[in-house]
């Protein structure tokens, strides 16, 4: 099997397995964010400090934002398995573990707005588990397409606490904002379609996925659309290169946790969601690391092209994905 018979490593559920076959996959990814933007425009810390604090009516809360995110990293480990009870149907299960770290700067909440210091927060937990059915629509020598129907359960904590530096220059333990929690604990439905065509030496793929919450807790991430289009080309029997364009549109957070109310942008449910466009370049290498006939190592570097995020949010910087797959 040529490396391009599978999509770029950043795409999940891109193909069906053959009857009675298993495929095991492991993916590691790191996403980095740095700086802030307001309604799609980059801004400085001083601009963030001029934004009003929606929780200013609470005791000891400043009228304006006083804690500014500086940079954030998120590491994800995804372990998946696919099994095909028939040539028309493939079942795919996946569990995800994530670790998040954020550095923030705290400023005086009153007159002068002087810099007080910086601090770090973190969280780490099993995030979610999912089960997806892939059903064949059609398959010819040069064209194939299948449907997606999946359910995801958020299993990570949504009330992680950590020590912070307050605008009164005091240490306090508080519930971390939504983006630093391991999951929203919701049950979600994913539906979509994938198609792949061969044109000469190139493989062209498209995937459309819609994700929505079915069972909600006090808060949940908003509905989202993900559209991926990619092109791949083999170079010999062991190597392929790819280019991918990714569009994501997501609504803001639904609901609110009343214990999340720090004077920081990430504590506001309205400052989530929006539209982003990413461009990724990748490489896949055929391998026999464990003696398998169908092994693949893939990697992708993902860079933002356009960010039109909702409200006040951190800017995406880059992400890198490394994965291994073996068919049994």
Average pLDDT along the chain, 328 residues, taken 10 residues at a time: 80 93 96 95 95 90 96 98 97 98 95 93 97 97 97 95 95 96 96 97 97 91 98 92 98 96 96 98 86 83 97 98 93
20: in domain: yes
Rg (CA), the chain: 22
| The total number of structural domains that make up the chain | 1
149: in domain: yes
Q: What CA–CA distance (Å, rounded) separates 240 from 224?
A: 30
* Token pair for 48: 């963030």
301: in domain: yes
Residue 290: C-alpha distances to residues 8, 91, 286, 326 (Å):
21, 24, 12, 9
Backbone angles phi, psi at 80, to 5 degrees: -130, 160
Q: Please tell me the predicted confidence (pLDDT) of residue 250.
A: 98
pTM over 0.85: yes
106: in domain: no
In the block, which residue shows the tokens 């289009």? 229
323: in domain: yes
Choose among 304, 265, 217, 321: nearest CA to 43: 265
Q: Please tell me the predicted confidence (pLDDT) of residue 1.
A: 59
Contact between 64 and 49 under an 8 Å Cβ cutoff? The reply is yes
CATH number at residue 184: 2.40.160.40
139: in domain: yes
166: in domain: no
* Domain, as residue range, for 31: 3-101+123-159+177-327
In the block, which residue shows the tokens 């559920």? 13
107: in domain: no
């Amino acid at each position: 099997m040529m490396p391009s018979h599978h999509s770029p490593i950043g795409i999940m559920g891109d193909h069906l397995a053959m009857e009675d076959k298993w495929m095991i996959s492991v993916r590691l990814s790191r996403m980095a964010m740095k700086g802030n933007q307001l309604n799609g425009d980059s801004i400085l810390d001083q601009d963030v400090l001029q934004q009003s604090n929606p929780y200013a009516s609470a005791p000891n809360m400043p009228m304006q934002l006083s804690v500014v995110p500086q940079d954030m990293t998120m590491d994800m480990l995804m372990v998946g398995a696919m099994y095909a009870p028939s040539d028309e149907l493939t079942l795919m299960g996946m569990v995800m573990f994530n670790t998040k770290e954020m550095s923030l700067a705290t400023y005086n909440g009153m007159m002068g707005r002087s810099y007080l210091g910086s601090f770090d927060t973190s969280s780490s937990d099993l995030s979610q588990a999912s089960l997806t059915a892939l059903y064949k629509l059609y398959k010819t020598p040069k064209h194939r397409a299948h449907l997606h129907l999946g359910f995801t359960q958020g299993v990570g904590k949504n009330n992680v606490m950590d020590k912070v530096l307050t605008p009164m220059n005091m240490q306090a333990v508080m519930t971390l904002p939504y983006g630093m929690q391991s999951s929203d604990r919701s049950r979600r439905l994913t539906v979509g379609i994938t198609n792949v065509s061969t044109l000469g030496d190139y493989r062209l793929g498209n995937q459309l996925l819609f994700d929505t919450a079915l069972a909600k807790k006090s808060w949940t991430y908003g509905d989202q659309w993900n559209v991926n289009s990619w092109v791949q080309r083999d170079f010999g029997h062991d190597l392929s290169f790819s280019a991918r364009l990714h569009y994501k549109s997501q609504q803001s957070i639904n609901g609110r946790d009343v214990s999340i109310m720090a004077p920081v942008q990430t504590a506001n449910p309205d400052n989530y969601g929006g539209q982003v466009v990413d461009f990724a370049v990748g490489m896949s290498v055929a391998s026999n690391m464990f003696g398998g006939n169908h092994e693949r190592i893939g990697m992708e570097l993902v860079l933002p092209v356009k960010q039109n995020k909702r409200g006040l949010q951190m800017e995406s910087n880059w992400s890198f994905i490394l994965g291994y797959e073996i068919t049994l």
